[in-house]
């Protein structure tokens, strides 16, 4: 860095390198689906994936159980059972706007619970 005569040229040079690396990475990502055609698809997940999915499911369930009842009901009706907003609101006996508000808050609380590590580090 002490030998650089023009700092602006150094920045431009680094930016060019960064763009080239990103372009190469993007090209590799674009080729992955084509390269995957040669591989034999696996229909059964490996045991580690099954265990990981079960762990994530447990963490989400724990986060759901920690929600206040009204938020949990909105979350279960929309995101777990898959009802439309209108149908979920009707089943909960509230208006659609109220349901959407509760659902938004429920999702936020679940996200916070998972981010704070309610089940520890999921990736371990």
**pLDDT exceeds cutoff 80 at 58:** yes
Q: What is the pLDDT of residue 124?
A: 42
The pLDDT tens digits of the residues spanning 7-49 come to 777 777 778 888 888 777 777 776 666 656 656 656 677 888 8
Q: What is the pLDDT of residue 24?
A: 78
- Tell me which residue range forms the domain holding 54: 47-115
Please report, for the domain that includes residue 70, its CATH number.
Answer: 1.10.10.10
Query: Cα separations (Å) of 94 from 2, 67, 73, 100?
Result: 68, 18, 11, 10
Assess whether 26 and 51 both reside in one domain. Answer: no
Q: What is the pLDDT of residue 14?
A: 78
Assess whether 57 and 95 both reside in one domain. Answer: yes
**pLDDT exceeds cutoff 60 at 99:** yes
Assess whether 80 and 96 both reside in one domain. Answer: yes
Assess whether 36 and 61 both reside in one domain. Answer: no
Radius of gyration, CA atoms only, the chain: 24
Q: How many whole angstroms separate alpha carbon 113 and alpha carbon 80?
A: 17
Query: Cα separations (Å) of 35 from 38, 45, 53, 109, 110?
Result: 6, 20, 26, 40, 37
How many domains does the structure of the chain reveal?
2
Q: How many whole angstroms separate alpha carbon 56 and alpha carbon 103?
A: 20
Q: What is the mean pLDDT of the chain?
A: 81
The pLDDT tens digits of the residues spanning 60-77 come to 888 889 999 999 999 999
Q: How many whole angstroms separate alpha carbon 122 and alpha carbon 124?
A: 6
């Amino acid at each position: 860095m002490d030998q650089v005569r023009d700092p602006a040229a150094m920045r431009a040079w680094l930016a060019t390198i960064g763009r080239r690396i990103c372009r190469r990475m993007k090209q590799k990502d674009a080729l992955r689906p084509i390269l995957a055609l040669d591989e034999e698809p696996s229909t059964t997940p490996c045991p580690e994936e099954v265990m990981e999915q079960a762990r994530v499911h447990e963490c989400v369930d724990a986060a759901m159980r920690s929600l206040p009842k009204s938020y949990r009901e909105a979350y279960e009706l929309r995101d777990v059972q898959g009802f439309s907003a209108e149908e979920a609101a009707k089943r909960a006996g509230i208006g659609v706007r109220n349901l959407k508000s509760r659902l938004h808050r429920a999702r936020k609380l679940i996200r916070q619970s998972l981010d704070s590590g309610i089940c520890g580090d999921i990736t371990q």
